[in-house]
Structure 1
């Protein structure tokens, strides 16, 4: 379900925008697990370091939270 990426713009930002859009539209509801770095790398055919930038950005924006040993989940922004 990946889209074509514009290779003239920062790829990680484009992927982060798509995942944020999926969170917003309910594809990934609050509390649900989001794709891992490996899953993002595979879906978008990007390096793991690019996928890590995506996750770091989403976490920095407060869209996701990480639980050590369990994974990364959509954050409940209303609880903040």
Structure 2
């Protein structure tokens, strides 16, 4: 992954997953990649990968089932400033 130096990496990975959600790569109810899978794909730290998943949950884009994983929530319309628009 090529990084934009002025944007925090967690935000860039968040944007990547957000775009995949709104583009339909991850459908509502579908499991998102684990923190470990995000680390392997992007090279960010495990702490940063967990933050990305937390931020997706905080934004209402995902929910967690403890011991199972993080899943895509039913989607609202994309925010006006979303990169997927």
Q: With structure 1 as the length reference, what TM-score do the two structures score?
A: 0.88
Larger mean CA deviation between 57-66 and 7-16 belongs to 7-16
Q: Among residues 21, 24, 35, which one is paired with 2:22 in the alignment? A: 24
Provide structure 2 residue ranges, at least 5 long, that are not aligned to the other structure: 77-85
Question: Residue 63 of structure 1: which of 48, 61, 66 is its match?
Answer: 61
Query: After the TM superposition, which segments of 4 or more aligned residues of structure 1 sit over 3 Å from their partners?
Result: none
Matched length? 76
CA shift for structure 1 position 7: 3.1
Question: Partners in 2 of 1:22 and 1:4 — Cα distance?
Answer: 17
In the alignment, which of 30, 36, 42 is matched to residue 34 of structure 2? Answer: 36
Normalization by structure 2: what TM-score?
0.83
Between Structure 1 and Structure 2, which shows a larger proportion of helix residues? 1
Give the aligned CA root-mean-square deviation in angstroms. 1.2
